[in-house]
């Protein structure tokens, strides 16, 4: 077990990251946007990385729901970014063939955004 100074430092980092995550969650739930989704995803991933770095120095807590949330935010982000990248690269002669994929990506993004809102109700209501 690491010494008390490390445990205290680690607790401070976890507290700051949990606070940042909760703030991002509140903002996203209030008014979802691409920027707020990005913030939500980033704060969740930082928290997971912090846990990976300091798992020996902090009290154990489950990351199951946080991981699920990270996966979902990744799916929504990927769908949005792929749509944007496809639009950017699309040759006018191929516009018709791309319509189906663009539509599918948009539907996927909207569906996953709903899942995220649901998942956020269950992820981490209390301080670890």
Interface ranges with other proteins (CB under 8 A): 1-3, 5-6, 9, 13, 45-46, 49-50, 52-57, 78, 81-82, 85-86, 89-91, 93-94, 97-98, 100-101, 105
Q: How far is the CB of 31 from other proteins (least distance, A)?
A: 25
Q: Helix 64-89 crosses helix 95-122 at what angle (to 10 degrees)?
A: 160
Q: How far is the CB of 118 from other proteins (least distance, A)?
A: 24
Q: Which residues of 34-54 are buried (b: 16+ CB within 10 A; e: fewer)?
A: eebbebbbebbbebbebbeeb
Provide the 8-state DSSP code for 93: G
- Tokens 């946080």 — which residue? 66
Q: How far is the CB of 5 from other proteins (least distance, A)?
A: 6
Q: Which is nearer to other proteins, 53 or 71 (CB)?
A: 53
Q: Which is nearer to other proteins, 88 or 126 (CB)?
A: 88
């Amino acid at each position: 077990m690491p010494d008390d100074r490390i445990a205290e430092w680690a607790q401070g980092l976890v507290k700051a990251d949990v606070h940042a995550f909760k703030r991002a969650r509140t903002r996203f739930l209030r008014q979802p946007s691409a920027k707020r989704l990005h913030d939500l995803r980033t704060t969740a991933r930082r928290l997971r990385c912090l846990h990976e770095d300091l798992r020996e120095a902090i009290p154990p807590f489950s990351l199951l729901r946080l991981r699920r949330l990270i996966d979902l935010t990744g799916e929504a982000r990927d769908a949005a970014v792929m749509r944007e990248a496809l639009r950017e690269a699309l040759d006018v002669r191929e516009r018709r063939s791309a319509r189906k994929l663009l539509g599918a990506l948009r539907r996927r993004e909207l569906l996953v955004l709903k899942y995220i809102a649901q998942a956020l109700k269950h992820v981490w209501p209390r301080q670890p």
